[in-house]
Structure 1
Amino acid sequence: MPDPAPAVLQVLPALVSGGVERGTVEIAQALVAAGFRAVVASAGGPLAAEVEAAGGRHVTLPLDRKSPAALTANAVALRHLAQGEGVRIIHARSRFPAWSALIAARRAGAHFVTTYHGTYNEGFPGKRLYNSVMARGDRVIAISEHIAAVVRERYGVGPDRLRVIPRGVDPVRFDPDAVSPDRVEALRRAWDLPADRSVILLPGRLTRWKGQRVLLDALGRLPEPRPVAVLLGDAQGRDEYVAELRRVAATLGDAVRIPGPASDVPAALALADVVIHASTDAEAFGRTVIEAQAMRRPVIASDLGGPRETVADGVTGWRVRPGDPGALATALSRVLAMPAAERRTVGAAARAAVLARYTTAAMQAATLDVYRELP
């Protein structure tokens, strides 16, 4: 009887939504397609069904709980799972469950791989030690050169273990030629957007550091009739911040829409004349930037973190000083005043750059190459 295919176990808190969760599903799909067995352990969520649909196995464990007792119990459960499934690699994607995964890997004789997804705040004693689990892998995957520099500086991880694998976008889903005018028009009607005004889109969850307030302050500096700014994203319970945004929006007449999250992100991007990334803290990567670029949209991004790698200033978009409404207003005025043909040239260069480096397929292939490095 032939030996079973090698198994990789991915570990994360839950599979509800988000870039980490989507990346987990994408790697499970790639593993199955490459002849591996894909196992994912989490507390569950809607995306668990996608793991199973891809031919992987999802195992529900309380990996979203944070307590010493949970850490120990999850370590035991993961070790039993790894031994029962013949897991060769345990890949941790989040800090607290990573400690359980590290213990399980060492006791099961499996390799330990991590993906370092963020800069991770170190604001109180012991936090660097807590974060350090993400630098303890036999291989440590950084999602950008920016994150790789953080890992090298804080933990001294060298080229023998550190690998940079940027996040990717699906160029088929995010293809401007595949988005029908009807899909775009449906959003225009739903958001009550006038046909004679430019549309500025800021996609991202509604939280202060994502810079929605910076965009509204920039919008107030533009002459009337102003473009319409759409703040697209989930508030995730930040009611006070949303109320603040609505108060500021009320001073700008009919120039702001806050519709919540969108189910058709490609159509929302296709609707925009310019897409904004206004984060005031350094993004580890910034997937919304490459999604917009894949859709050939002009992008104005904060000049820090991941977008310094994905936005070539004046070629595939523009970068501005973060947290500066005046600088953002100036850039908006300049970009919106450009002839449409010039904006299309920038958009075409942006999509070409995404296709060259920032696709889901490239991310999947590079991650599988990391797994294959480990004996």
Structure 2
Amino acid sequence: MVVKVVQVLPALELGGVERGTLEVARGLVAAGHESVVVSAGGRLVEQLEREGSRHVPWELGKKSLLTFLQVPKFRRWLAQEQPDIVHVRSRMPAWVVWLAWRTMDPARRPRFITTLHGMHSINRYSAIMGRGERVIAVSETAKRYLLDNFSGVDPAKVTVIHRGIDPNEFPPGYQPADAWKEQLFSDYPAAKNKHLICFPGRITRWKGHLDLVKVVAELCRQRQDFHVLVVGSDPKDKFIHEVKTAISEAGLDAYFSFLGTRSDMKELYAVADVTLSLTSTTAEAFGRTVVECLSVGTPVIGYAHGAVAETLGAIYPQGKVETGDVQAVVRKVAAVIEGESAPIQDNPFVQHRMLTETLNLYTDVTGAGTPS
């Protein structure tokens, strides 16, 4: 039996939710099912359609009361499309879809599935992510957060399906081409002939950039043969000024290069001696960069906060540090630079497993078997 799945999200720009949507869409098509994605559009639409899914342009993610005017139209569209499953991954679209879905004939409406991708604020608006007939949590941490903070969620309907990466995209032992390295060090000459520390992630207050400054200040008391590559941008162009001011006030400008958003993360992970993850407030729901970097073979030192504790615990336990313990981070970074690093274990967080478990859930809730 062929299953028709509609995935709904705000847009198809770059990001973890968008990437997961494309991966599941690709997996559905490969398994012989029908894949439809509803979003406001974006740079990933072309790839989505090239890989066999249908895209329906529809802006349901705008946080405005006017967005709820789309509910009757979306209800009619669902009745016309007759999907087996509607799968929502973000709060505002989830509200629109749920309001449309709940008034449909229960015998004819699709199954309603939600995925909790992040640690949302604890309020009624976020509670929609626990209202799916089945709820996917992207880590044990995300599941615990959902059950601890939102009443009325039945634990039996929550399934943990960890995110996964493609090992072929981040192959163990990968080494960048000489031409790529020459270009990197031409663009950022301060990094040449130095031990490199990679710090990926959007430049926001909760990602730990100010703790990174403290780590560098302590590490440079021991040695000066290192350089930090800060990879990512500030979506609101606010916090980056605070970070750069802290760096300058500490006299550490020579130790930092800001690379902005990059599409060559595999190369950057591979050229680094170590990568840091210092999120200490809002917890990571999964922490994809940790898994990507470890897959390539570069050690990761990170605060054991949120799902980073899960991923590091499974692949590189030596990298775990108590949240906020800057001195421990410095000691572990220094040890890695000196070659004192434990082996990286096999990565269980792979895309194939994630897709298999997601498609199994789809076929389970619809009672479908292998496509005919």
CA distance in 2, matches of 1:23, 1:314: 21
Shift of 1:67: 2.0
Unmatched tracts of structure 1, length 5 or more: none
* Matches for 1:1-375 after TM superposition, within 5 Å: 5-73=2-70, 75-108=71-104, 109-122=109-122, 127=123, 129-153=124-148, 154-182=150-178, 183-222=180-219, 223-239=222-238, 241-250=239-248, 251-281=251-281, 282-312=283-313, 315-339=316-340, 343=341, 346-347=343-344, 349=345, 352=346, 354=347, 357-375=348-366
Contact 1:188 1:271 (C-alpha < 8 Å) held by counterparts = no
DSSP-derived class of the 2:343 partner: helix
Out of 314-323 and 209-218, give the one that drifted further. Answer: 314-323
Q: 1:160 to 1:306 in 2, by over 3 A?
A: same
Per-residue Cα deviation, 1:136-172 (whole angstroms, up to 9, x for no partner): 1111000000111122223353453110001111111
Out of 146-155 and 26-35, give the one that drifted further. Answer: 146-155
Counterpart code for 1:119: M
CA distance in 1, matches of 2:314, 2:302: 9
CA distance in 2, matches of 1:320, 1:364: 31
CA distance in 2, matches of 1:188, 1:312: 33
Per-residue Cα deviation, 1:106-153 (whole angstroms, up to 9, x for no partner): 34411100001122122xxxx2x2111111111100000011112222
Counterpart code for 1:245: V
CA distance in 2, matches of 1:194, 1:304: 29
The sequence identity of aligned pairs, in percent, is 34
CA distance in 2, matches of 1:104, 1:88: 15
Contact 2:197 2:273 (C-alpha < 8 Å) held by counterparts = yes
Q: 1:167 to 1:315 in 2, by over 3 A?
A: closer
TM-score (ref. length: structure 1): 0.89
Shift of 1:76: 2.5
DSSP-derived class of the 2:168 partner: coil
Q: 1:70 to 1:23 in 2, by over 3 A?
A: same
DSSP-derived class of the 1:8 partner: strand
CA distance in 1, matches of 2:126, 2:315: 36
Per-residue Cα deviation, 1:6-34 (whole angstroms, up to 9, x for no partner): 31111111111100011011111011111
CA distance in 1, matches of 2:182, 2:114: 42
Contact 2:29 2:52 (C-alpha < 8 Å) held by counterparts = yes
Contact 1:12 1:42 (C-alpha < 8 Å) held by counterparts = yes
Per-residue Cα deviation, 1:17-54 (whole angstroms, up to 9, x for no partner): 10001101111101111111111111110111121111
CA distance in 2, matches of 1:203, 1:315: 18
Number of aligned residue pairs: 355
**Structure 1 match to 2:369:** none
Contact 1:184 1:268 (C-alpha < 8 Å) held by counterparts = no
DSSP-derived class of the 1:338 partner: coil
Contact 1:76 1:104 (C-alpha < 8 Å) held by counterparts = yes
TM-score (ref. length: structure 2): 0.90
Q: 1:310 to 1:89 in 2, by over 3 A?
A: same
Q: 1:202 to 1:145 in 2, by over 3 A?
A: same
Shift of 1:261: 1.1
Contact 1:226 1:255 (C-alpha < 8 Å) held by counterparts = no
CA distance in 2, matches of 1:59, 1:231: 36
- Greater RCO (Cα-Cα under 8 Å, separation 6 or more): 2
DSSP-derived class of the 1:254 partner: helix
CA distance in 2, matches of 1:64, 1:315: 37
Unmatched tracts of structure 2, length 5 or more: 367-372
CA distance in 2, matches of 1:217, 1:144: 29
DSSP-derived class of the 1:196 partner: coil
